[in-house]
Amino acid sequence: MNWAQLLIGLTLLGAATVYVITRNPNADGHLEHYAFQKFKRNFGVTYKNQGEESYRLSVFLENLKSIEANNANPLSTHVEEVNSFTDLTEEEFAARYLMKDLPQQMNKDLPILEMETLAAPQVIDWTAKNVLPPVKNQQQCGSCWAFSTAGMLEGVYNIHESPQTPISFSEQQLVDCCGAQGFGCEGCNGAWPTDAVAYTQKFGIVQESQYAYTAKDGSCKTALQGTGYKPSAQFQVAATDAALQAALQVQPISICVDASKWSSYSKGIFSNCSAKPSAADHAVLLVGLNADNTWKVRNSWGTSWGQSGYITLAAGNTCGLENYAIYATY
């Protein structure tokens, strides 16, 4: 090698070194920008102007940082991912998808369910028994209480009637009519499932095909009231592992939980709830007990969220799931 070749080689090496040193910070920015563009493409997201897009990018990056921190934490038992909620702040997510004006206390006058507890917990998964319709999507309406109620009643009805295709009940009827008939429900702002069940005991609940979901508050179609299924009674399940496990052997159970930190959940066993065990801002459906005593819960945020619409909660009273458990009878 002559001196000219050596000089050229050192010059190229120096240039490459400078490129690597000055390129790395920008590489992260390019990756983040790519992740945001992929998010918009995957979920069909558009923004009205550049200012809004810039703001949503900043929110997205903050959430992405939190997702990556959770997934890098060796103590975390669940995995998080980018999903349709990743460009929302925590406050925006709560306002759009959780219940806002939930009364301070569920109806505590309900009788406690009397049921013989099990000698040992038994695995159960109601999603494998053809008694529930596919996972639904409440969209940007705090109507989770209606989906939790309808889901429980679907389970009760389909278990007893055994139709070839599981019957799907109307959440929109509950959204429109439960409050209008004086049962204390607040439509897209929230309600206790107990109030919704009480409404159905008097007025019944029709099938979804008769009263389609619109994801917004509407006027009650009173002509349909009284024509649907009416549960005979409802009970509160005692707030213990044994009582809830026993009740779950019979049918799916409506529960209210603290879901304030659920937005980015993907898979695994979730236990990262808020510090307030009595908090309840979301109603869901308890559908299974796993061999490790973790709970299988059906959500109403569509199948693109979580485990195809489901979340696994850690054993015990995780996210307050035992505090507001409701059991309706056929």
Domains of the chain: 3-76 (no CATH), 93-329 (3.90.70.10)
Quote the DSSP letter at residue 268: E
Does the pTM exceed 0.85? yes
Beta bridge partners of residue 236, listed in sequence order:
112, 326
| Average pLDDT over every residue of 303-316 | 98
Tokens encoding 36 = 């945001």
Catalytic: 319?
no
User: Any alpha helices (H) in the chain, and if so which ranges?
Assistant: 3-43, 50-72, 90-97, 144-161, 171-177, 193-203, 241-248
User: Where does the pLDDT of residue 186 fall: very low under 50, low under 70, confident under 90, or very high at 90 and above?
Assistant: very high
The answer on pLDDT for 16 being more than 70 is no
Share of the chain above pLDDT 70, in %: 88
Is 144 a catalytic site residue?
A: yes
Determine the residue type at 149. Answer: T
Among 121, 112, 126, CA closest to 252: 126
Cβ–Cβ under 8 Å, residues 247 and 328: no
Q: What is the mean pLDDT of the chain?
A: 90
pLDDT surpassing 90 at residue 2: no
* 137 DSSP β-pair partners: 301
Residue 103 has pLDDT above 60, yes or no: no
Query: Pick the catalytic residue: 178, 282, 319, 323?
Result: 282
Reply yes or no on whether the pLDDT at 282 is more than 60: yes
| Both tokens assigned to 288 | 């299974």
Distance CA 83, CA 305 (A): 7
> Taking each helix axis from N to C terminus, what angle separates 144-161 and 193-203, rounded to the nearest 10 degrees?
50
* 201 band by pLDDT with thresholds 50, 70 and 90: very high
165 has pLDDT over 90:
yes
Q: Give residue for tokens 């195809």.
A: 308
User: What is the rounded distance in angstroms from the CA atom of residue 224 to the CA atom of residue 142?
Assistant: 23
Q: Which one of the listed residues 144, 220, 256, 319 is annotated catalytic? A: 144
Q: Which residues of 244-270 are buried (b: 16+ CB within 10 A; e: fewer)?
A: bbbbbeebbbbbbbbbbbbbbbbebbb
3-state DSSP call for residue 296? strand
Q: Report, as an integer, the average pLDDT of 173-189.
A: 96
Which is the catalytic residue, given 70, 83, 299, 323? 299
Q: Is 299 a catalytic residue?
A: yes
